[in-house]
Structure 1
């Protein structure tokens, strides 16, 4: 199985931390932020469940640009073989 070695950047990790500390952030934003932070400095990959959630966020007209940035980061760290 091929391993995706991408990691969350420090800029995105900062956005994720700010999102988690924001009482007005949506549940989806917080979920994506937690996933992105959990992949900072590790070889962890995005779960299939989070891939689906991130994909829906990217397609939604209701999600903010910050949420979509978190979603894109989470998807970029997904298992390469699962997307085939």
Structure 2
């Protein structure tokens, strides 16, 4: 059994900055919202939509550090699919 993950304080701060920025893309805000909602909430997991957004944020070279930190946190909390 794996330990439940929650958003840490550094990632939560980055997510907050991402959400309040006026110049942030919608995909970044989706990933940041997911990460922020999982602060102190180990039962929550990242949705497929938010995980896809987070993946795109991480692969986009134009994305700033705060957005990538929040996206990484959201993606790390995605429930594994298990073995096929």
Give the unaligned 5+ runs of structure 2.
none
Q: Within 2, Cα distance between the matches of 1:70 and 1:83?
A: 27
CA RMSD between the two structures? 2.2
CA pair 80-62 structure 1, distance change in 2 beyond 3 A: same
SS of residue paired to 2:61: coil
Give the structure with the higher percent helix.
1
CA pair 33-83 structure 1, distance change in 2 beyond 3 A: farther
TM-score, with normalisation over the residues of structure 1? 0.81
Contact 2:14/2:67, CA 8 A, preserved across alignment: no
SS of residue paired to 1:75: helix
CA pair 82-21 structure 1, distance change in 2 beyond 3 A: farther
After TM superposition, the runs of 4+ consecutive aligned structure 1 residues lying more than 4 A away are none
Q: How far 1:3 moved relative to its partner?
A: 6.9
CA pair 16-72 structure 1, distance change in 2 beyond 3 A: same
Q: Is 1:44–2:59 an aligned residue pair?
A: no
